[in-house]
Each structure stands twice: as structure tokens, then as C-alpha cells.
């Protein structure tokens, strides 16, 4: 790759809207391609937040000018977040992040109704952990079947929903594959049978259009740090009529409607509000640009390398998340061999145990393909030169690893290697 191209990478990163030069590391590598994990905080967001650390530092529950200023800022932030998903401000509770939001809705609703909780084995670990917790409390938990493209099996969903089910939780956009579920159709099925619906919208919030009235979900979780906002803040949306299911006995009703305790972090809320405002205005252009970058990435890798697989639905996905397998390579080895890019591995390998991603396992992806997966996630600062460097690195690393791989030799010789990986699947949250 020429110096001219490398210089273009640094230049484009620096000029990206909302990210000034002081916030970009003064070197080209590694190029960050892990935006599904977290994002850098936008300068516009940071600038909006700073006064609420140093000047307008009042407690929004205080009955004086400092408190009134903080409360006004909090109300504006709540309105900005609500506007992004078409909700009313009084339906938005600020939390520490999507994990807490999911836990509040899942654990409290299940504990109050004591009805069966239904989810899938492809959910984020935070939701699966909630399932384990309520199961330990004697509440029944069931798991929906996931098809090979990552979408839920609607026939199974229809058969499993009945009056014994209290709550269903389905991820709107999967964090590993980017698969988008048909939440509106799921909500219609749930409500026809009297079942409440929670969706983890962490990877969808601010990236794809969400109209909460049209989707008709009962609860929604999201985090600010996935949309260039601060870490440590998120939201829980709830329908007004469901607030009673979430209240904490003896809680201070003046703090986030009595749904959680502690002093509200106004500065973080302001940051999330600003991030939501920016996301709403830039969503369409970001989606279009990221779609183009994904196409360059996928088309070039697929053309250059045999036995390359994109995991997840080809029709229903968020383009910024690409889960790709390079058969004959181990995901983490590939990730470490690519020195110029920062991506995530879809599997974890130790000296004596191979663990397959629970998401790919739920999709019944063959183990040798699943263990060769990595996740590449594209964000606002990503440029075409970044993608070209990623392509170059991945082709070189895959070629090198395959040359050293006896598994690849067997694949090329036509040997059925499925038995080698037999029993290696991750069986999380059974």
C-alpha cells in the first residue's frame, strides 16, 4: 500500500465530522474496525457535556437555580432520546446502559408475573445471564429456534406463545452478525396472545430507523456508547401502562420515576441526548455510506479467497456489522495476524478447548466454519482506504495461515472434517 494511500487514511480520519485532530491517535495503525463493541465519543457530544461537570453541576432534584438548570438539561436530553425512537419523553428512563435496562425489564416483569420467559440462544450475553438468574429463581425459561440465517423460526414462535408466557426478549440487531429481526411481526404475535415484548436495540439505536409506535414493543434497551456518546449511560423505554411492572417498592419516585436509585448523572444524560440528536440527523447518510463500504469489503474478500462465508441473513442485516468466516483459519489467529486492523474474533481458543460463538452455534453453522469467524464493524470514521487496507491484511493473513494449516490441506483434498470438530460447539444457556 502506497504512502499516498496511508496518508489519505490519516487525513480522512481527521476530517471526519465530529472527530477533531486532537482526538485521533497520531498514527495510522491499527485501523479501528470494532465499532459494534464501542465507539469514540464525538467532540460535539463532549463539548455539550463538559459544562455539566464544571458549571451546571446541580442535582436535578434540588430546589434552587443549580438544580433547575440541571433538571432543564435532563428534560431536554430525555426529549432528544425520545425523538430518535418516536417515544414520549416520560417513557424514557436513563440507566447505566443497555445491560441494566434489559435486566430491569426482564427480571422485574418475570418476578412479578412469575410466568415463563422466552428468548433465543443468539441473544447478547447480558440477556442470557438474565435468563439464568430468573431460571435459578424457579421461573421457567424457553429458547426459540434460530434458522441458519440468524432469523427466528416464526412457526416455533407461534407454537411456543401461550398464556403461560409472560415476556419474550428478542434482539433487534444481533451484535455478532448484524441480523435484523422482524420486531413488528414478533410484537403482533406476542400481543395477540397476551405476551409482553422486550427488545435489546443496542446495535439498532441510532443506526436504523426505529418508530416505537409502529413496532409496538413494550420495553426497549439501548446504550449511548454505541452511537458516539459517553460510556456509562443508556435508556430503557417502557409503555406507560407497563410502568407498574417495573417499580421498585419504597423507591424515590423523584429519581427516574422510581425505577432506579441514585443521583442522575446529568452530564452523561446530556451527552446521550446530543448523540441521539446527531444520530437522527445523520442516520440516512451514514447508512448509505456504510452500505457502500461493506460491499467493497465483502466483494473483494469473496473474490480473492475461496471458502469465505458471510454469516447471517443476506437480506435482513445492518451493513455495519460483517461476520465473516475464512475456512481453514482460526478466528483469533487471523485477528492477531492482521497487524494493521483492530477487529473482533467470533470464537475463543485455548490450548485445550475450542469454544464456538454461541450466536453461530444457535444458527447451526458448521463448527469448522464458525471457529474461523471474525467480526468487522464499520463506523462513522471508517474510510474506503481503511477498508482497502483491511482487505489487503485479511487476504495476506488468510493465505499465510492456510499455508500452515493441515485442516486447510484436508479441505482442499475433499476430506470431510466435520468429525474433527464434533462436540466442540458452545452450548451456552441450555
Res 26 pLDDT > 60: no
Does the pTM surpass 0.85? The reply is yes
In this prediction, residue 294 carries a pLDDT of: 97
Measured between alpha carbons, how far is 217 from 355 in angstroms, rounded to an integer? 34
Instruction: For residue 170, name the pLDDT band (cuts at 50, 70, 90).
Output: very high
What is the pLDDT, as a whole number, of residue 248? Answer: 63
Three-state SS sequence of 162-201: CCCEEEEEEECECCCCCEECCHHHHHHHHHHCCCEEEEEC
pLDDT at 25: 46
Q: Are 174 and 359 in contact (CB under 8 A)?
A: yes
The pLDDT of residue 414 is: 73
pLDDT interval class at 428 (50, 70, 90): very low
User: How many CB atoms are located within 10 Å of the residue 185 CB?
Assistant: 13
What is d(CA 82, CA 85) in angstroms, rounded to the nearest whole number?
Answer: 6
> In which band, very low, low, confident or very high, does the pLDDT at 425 lie, cut at 50, 70 and 90?
very low
Q: pLDDT class for 254, splitting at 50, 70, 90?
A: low
When pLDDT is cut at 50, 70 and 90, the band that residue 331 belongs to is confident
Are the beta carbons of 59 and 70 closer than 8 angstroms?
A: yes
User: For 383-396, what is each residue's pLDDT tens digit?
Assistant: 999 999 999 999 99
CA dist list (Å): 143 to 135, 156, 337, 410, 428 = 12, 10, 37, 36, 11
193 contact partners, CB below 8 Å, separation of at least 6: 161, 162, 163, 165
N residues, the chain: 430
Q: What angle do CA 377, 379, 381 make, to 5 degrees?
A: 135
Residue 346: predicted pLDDT: 59
Q: How many percent of the chain have pLDDT more than 90?
A: 70
> Phi, psi (5° rounding) for residue 385?
-60, -35
> Is a pLDDT exceeding 70 seen at residue 171?
yes
Indicate if the pLDDT at residue 9 is higher than 60: no
Top pLDDT among 346 and 358 is at: 358
Residues 6 or more apart whose Cβ sits within 8 Å of residue 151: 179, 181, 182, 313, 316
Half-sphere exposure of 59 (CA within 13 A, CB side): 7
Burial 346-381 (b: 16+ CB within 10 A, else e): bbeeeeeebbbbbbbbbbebbbbbbbbbbbbbbbbb
* Burial class for 253, CB neighbours closer than 10 Å (0-12, 13-18, 19+): exposed
Q: What domains does the chain contain, in order, with CATH numbers?
A: 3-40+282-421 (3.90.1150.10), 45-279 (3.40.640.10)
* Those residues with Cβ within 8 angstroms of residue 51's Cβ, 6 or more apart along the chain or in another chain: none
Residue 232 near residue 96 (C-beta atoms within 8 A): yes
Average pLDDT taken over every residue of the chain: 86
* 284-314 pLDDT tens trace: 999 999 999 999 999 999 999 999 999 999 9
pLDDT at residue 134 tops 50: yes
Q: Quick check: 144 pLDDT over 90? A: yes
In sequence order, the β-bridge partners of residue 142 are 118
pLDDT at residue 11 in the model? 38
In sequence order, the 6+-apart residues with CB closer than 8 A to the CB of 336 are none
Cα 407-411-414 angle, rounded to 5 deg: 140
Alpha-carbon distance values, 123 to 198, 221, 294 (Å): 12, 13, 24
What is the Cα–Cα distance from 224 to 278, expressed in whole angstroms? 12
Give the model's confidence band at 354: pLDDT under 50 very low, under 70 low, under 90 confident, else very high.
Answer: low
Residue 335 · residue 374 · CB < 8 Å: yes
Cα 223 to its chain centre, rounded Å, is 9
Identified catalytic residue from 16, 190, 329, 349:
349
- 349 included as an active-site residue: yes
**Rounded distance between C-alpha atoms, residue 192 and residue 194, angstroms:** 6
Q: What tens digit of pLDDT does each residue of 173-200 get?
A: 999 999 999 999 999 999 999 999 999 9
Kindly give the residue spans of alpha helices, DSSP state H, lying in 262-378.
266-304, 331-337, 358-362, 367-370
Calculate mean pLDDT across residues 201-230: 97
Amino acid at each position: 500500500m502506497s504512502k499516498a494511500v496511508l496518508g489519505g487514511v490519516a487525513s480522512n480520519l481527521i476530517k471526519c465530522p465530529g472527530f477533531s485532530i486532537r482526538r485521533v491517535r497520531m498514527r495510522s495503525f491499527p485501523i479501528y474496525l470494532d465499532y459494534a463493541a464501542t465507539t469514540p465519543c464525538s467532540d460535539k457530544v463532549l463539548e455539550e457535556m463538559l459544562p455539566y461537570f464544571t458549571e451546571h453541576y446541580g442535582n436535578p432534584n434540588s430546589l434552587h437555580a443549580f438544580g433547575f438548570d440541571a433538571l432543564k438539561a435532563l428534560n431536554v436530553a430525555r426529549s432528544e432520546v425520545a425523538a430518535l425512537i418516536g417515544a414520549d419523553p416520560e417513557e424514557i428512563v436513563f440507566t447505566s446502559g443497555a445491560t441494566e435496562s434489559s435486566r430491569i425489564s426482564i427480571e422485574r416483569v418475570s418476578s412479578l408475573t412469575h410466568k415463563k420467559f422466552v428468548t433465543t440462544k443468539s441473544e447478547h450475553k447480558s440477556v442470557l445471564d438474565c435468563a439464568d438468574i430468573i431460571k435459578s429463581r424457579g421461573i421457567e425459561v424457553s429458547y426459540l429456534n434460530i434458522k441458519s440465517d440468524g432469523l427466528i423460526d416464526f412457526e416455533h414462535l407461534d407454537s411456543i406463545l401461550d398464556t403461560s408466557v409472560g415476556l419474550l426478549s428478542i434482539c433487534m440487531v444481533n451484535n455478532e452478525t448484524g441480523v435484523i429481526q422482524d420486531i413488528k411481526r414478533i410484537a403482533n404475535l406476542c400481543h395477540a396472545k397476551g405476551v409482553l415484548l422486550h427488545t435489546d436495540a443496542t446495535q439498532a439505536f441510532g443506526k436504523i430507523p426505529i418508530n416505537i409506535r409502529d413496532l409496538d414493543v413494550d420495553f426497549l434497551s439501548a446504550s449511548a456508547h454505541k452511537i458516539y456518546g459517553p460510556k456509562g449511560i443508556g435508556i430503557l423505554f417502557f409503555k406507560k401502562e407497563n410502568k407498574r411492572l417495573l417499580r421498585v417498592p419504597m423507591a424515590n419516585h423523584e429519581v427516574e420515576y422510581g425505577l432506579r436509585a441514585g443521583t442522575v448523572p446529568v452530564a452523561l444524560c446530556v451527552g446521550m441526548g446530543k448523540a441521539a440528536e446527531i444520530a437522527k440527523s445523520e442516520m440516512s447518510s451514514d447508512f448509505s455510506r456504510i452500505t457502500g463500504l461493506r460491499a467493497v469489503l465483502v466483494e473483494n474478500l469473496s473474490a480473492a479467497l475461496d471458502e469465505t462465508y458471510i454469516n447471517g441473513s443476506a437480506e435482513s442485516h445492518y451493513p455495519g456489522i460483517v461476520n465473516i468466516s475464512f475456512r481453514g483459519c482460526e478466528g483469533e489467529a487471523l485477528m492477531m495476524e492482521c497487524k494493521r486492523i483492530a477487529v473482533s474474533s467470533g470464537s475463543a481458543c485455548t490450548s485445550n478447548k475450542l469454544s464456538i460463538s454461541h450466536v453461530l452455534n444457535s444458527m447451526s453453522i458448521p463448527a469448522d466454519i464458525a471457529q474461523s469467524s471474525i467480526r468487522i464493524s464499520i463506523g462513522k470514521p471508517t474510510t474506503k482506504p481503511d477498508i482497502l487496507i483491511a482487505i489487503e491484511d485479511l487476504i495476506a493473513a488468510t493465505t499465510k495461515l492456510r499455508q500452515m494449516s493441515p485442516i486447510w490441506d484436508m479441505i482442499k483434498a475433499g476430506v470431510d472434517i466435520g468429525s474433527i470438530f464434533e462436540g466442540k460447539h458452545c452450548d451456552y444457556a441450555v
